[in-house]
Amino acid sequence: MTEIDKEFLDILVCPQTKASLVQSGEWLYSTDPETRLRYAIQDGIPIMLVDQAETVSVEEFEEVVGSAAKR
């Protein structure tokens, strides 16, 4: 798994909503509960293109974003 540098992750935002992001595995998840978007990380590079983002289920969103909030 590619770990995105915390300082870099702190400045990255969802390009659609400007919400902060959290990393889980090879994905960056937007913390916006309305869109529930995730962005792939390929070869260590976040692919921050809205048209390539995926919408995740409410359950997956709550699990990932909820566990990140506890850290």
pTM: 0.93
Q: What is the DSSP string of the chain?
A: -PPPPHHHHHH-B-TTT--BEEEETTEEEE--TTT-EEEEEETTEE---GGG-EEPPHHHHHHHHHHHHH-
Give per-residue pLDDT as tens, 6-45. 999 999 999 999 999 999 999 999 999 999 999 999 999 9
Residue 70 has pLDDT above 80, yes or no: no
Q: Are 26 and 44 in contact (CB under 8 A)?
A: no
Q: 6-70, what's its fold?
A: N-terminal domain of TfIIb (2.20.25)
Q: Which pLDDT value is given to residue 52? A: 98
CB atoms within 10 A of CB 15: 13
What is the band of 2 on the pLDDT scale with cuts at 50, 70, 90? Answer: confident
